[in-house]
Amino acid sequence: MTADNLVIYHTPVMVTEVIHYLGVRLGGLYGDLTCGEGGHSLAILEAAAPGGRILSLDADPDMLVVAARRLQHYKDSVTFINNNFSQVAKVAEEQRFTSFDGLLMDLGISSRQLELESKGISFLRGPLDMRLDPEQELTAEEIVNTYDEKELAHIFSTYGEEPRARRIAAAVVRSRPLSSSPELAEVIVKAVGGRHSRSHLHPATRAFQALRYEVNDELNSVRTGLEQAVDLLSPTGRLVVLAYESLTDREVKTYFKRESTNCICPPHVVECQCGHKARVRLVSRKIVSPSEEEVRTNPRSRSARLRVVEGLQADN
Ligand SMILES: C[S@@+](CC[C@H](N)C(=O)[O-])C[C@H]1O[C@@H](n2cnc3c(N)ncnc32)[C@H](O)[C@@H]1O
């Protein structure tokens, strides 16, 4: 299967809430920093028409091929860019977009990428690759076959929150060389046995997530992407983030909390030393979750957590 012959598109998650919290207005300028198959980009353009424009970015060029087909009707209103959102400041400057009415980050991967055999992101199929950007050099195969046991355990533990990280790392090192995702999954199952005791996850889920994070440097990209996105907001422009994994959601939550706070000195400091100034305000203090109806019709939305901030006027 290639991305090019797809007919059923990835269903965008919480699309009504995304449009609502972005506050999409006619003729506005928006940025979809995780375009994927363009479901959210399309909804934003529909809500902003006539006159709305969007910068739609993705690290995976295959996804942009699909999105271009889906957004054919709005082709004059979209600028597609194949890049990492950690480069969004540079991309916006090159495209001469200085400030956005709204930016969206729908983090992680799409169901299509999970299913694509060539990417090997799922433990069911494919080579140990896991790159979103096929031009990038580091692959899961290189990590699995060359990192030492301690490094592997650290990755499984930090990026997968895997309690049996050391046991899995030792088994991986003993089983080298490994070249396919199902092969690695089998090694993990043998190392840790049946299912996770307190969850219904496949035993390889956390280790696979960890490898994907390491291959694509996901947490650092999210940190940099958030930082640059906030800089690109117009006063009162909004940044909406959807996260599905607790690790990335925690990153978003921590960042939004810090950037919506004027002083970030430790609690015992009586007089502010840091001089930190809030750059955004929290639009919703609590996370926004999908409706029961959406979870029923699109189970993938189950773990979605939406957070939103608004840019502050310069004198705030
Ligand atoms: C959940 S999907 C987005 C789905 C999209 N909202 C839609 O409606 O089709 C996440 C997308 O973000 C992309 N992505 C993940 N990390 C990225 C990064 N650091 N920079 C750019 N794109 C990234 C993935 O390639 C994937 O296409």
H-assigned helices in the chain: 15-22, 39-48, 61-70, 88-94, 111-115, 140-146, 149-160, 165-175, 181-192, 205-216, 218-231, 246-259, 292-297
Q: Which residue has the tokens 């199952």?
A: 189
Q: Which residue has the tokens 């970030």?
A: 264
> Could you report the per-residue pLDDT of 170-215, keeping only the tens digit for each?
999 999 999 999 999 999 999 998 655 556 788 999 999 999 999 9
Res. 4 pLDDT band, cuts 50 70 90? very low
Length of the chain, in residues: 316
Q: Which two tokens stand for residue 181?
A: 């995702």
Nearest CA to ligand 1 atom 16: 108
Q: What is the mean pLDDT of residues 224-233?
A: 97
Nearest CA to ligand 1 atom 5: 36
Ligand 1 geometric centre to CA of 40 (Å)? 11
Q: What is the mean pLDDT of residues 225-253?
A: 97
- State the DSSP H helix or E strand holding residue 190, giving kind and residue range, or none if neither: helix 181-192
Q: Among 165, 200, 216, where does a domain finish?
A: 216
Of 113-122, 130-139, 143-152, 282-291, minimum mean pLDDT range: 113-122
Whether the model pTM is above 0.85 = yes
Long-range contacts of 74-82 (CB under 8 A, 24+ apart): 74/42, 74/45, 74/49, 77/45, 77/49, 77/52, 77/53, 78/41, 78/45, 78/53, 78/54, 79/53, 79/54, 79/55, 80/35, 80/56, 81/55, 81/56, 81/57, 82/57, 82/58
Same domain, 149 and 227: no
Give percent of the chain with pLDDT exceeding 70. Answer: 95
Ligand 1 geometric centre to CA of 293 (Å)? 24
Q: Which two tokens stand for residue 90?
A: 């540079």
**Does residue 222 sit within a domain?**
yes
Amino acid (one-letter) located at 197: S
Q: Identify whether the C-beta of residue 297 lies closer than 8 Å to the C-beta of residue 13.
A: no
Q: What does the pLDDT read at residue 145? A: 98
How many domains is the chain partitioned into structurally? 2
Q: Which residue has the tokens 């920093």?
A: 33
Q: Identify whether the C-beta of residue 109 lies closer than 8 Å to the C-beta of residue 132.
A: yes
Q: What does the pLDDT read at residue 50? A: 96
| CATH code of 53's domain | 3.40.50.150
> Could you report the per-residue pLDDT of 282-291, keeping only the tens digit for each?
999 899 999 9
Res. 313 pLDDT band, cuts 50 70 90? low
Ligand 1 pocket mutation pick from 9, 10, 34, 228 by most atoms within 8 angstroms of CB: 34
Atom of ligand 1 nearest to the CA of 39: 8
Q: What does the pLDDT read at residue 176? A: 97
> Could you report the per-residue pLDDT of 11-66, keeping only the tens digit for each?
899 999 999 999 999 999 999 999 999 999 999 999 999 999 999 999 999 999 99
Q: Identify whether the C-beta of residue 127 lies closer than 8 Å to the C-beta of residue 179.
A: yes
Same domain, 14 and 157: no
Ligand 1 geometric centre to CA of 173 (Å)? 31
Amino acid (one-letter) located at 142: E
Nearest CA to ligand 1 atom 8: 39
Amino acid (one-letter) located at 193: G
Res. 9 pLDDT band, cuts 50 70 90? confident
Per the structure, the complete domain to which residue 246 belongs is given by 3-106+218-311
Ligand 1, pocket residues at CB < 6 Å: 10, 12, 34, 36-40, 57-60, 63, 84-86, 106, 108-110, 132, 221
Ligand 1 geometric centre to CA of 117 (Å)? 18
- Pairing between strand 233-243 and 305-311? antiparallel
Nearest CA to ligand 1 atom 27: 36
Nearest CA to ligand 1 atom 13: 34
Same domain, 85 and 225: yes
Same domain, 101 and 130: no
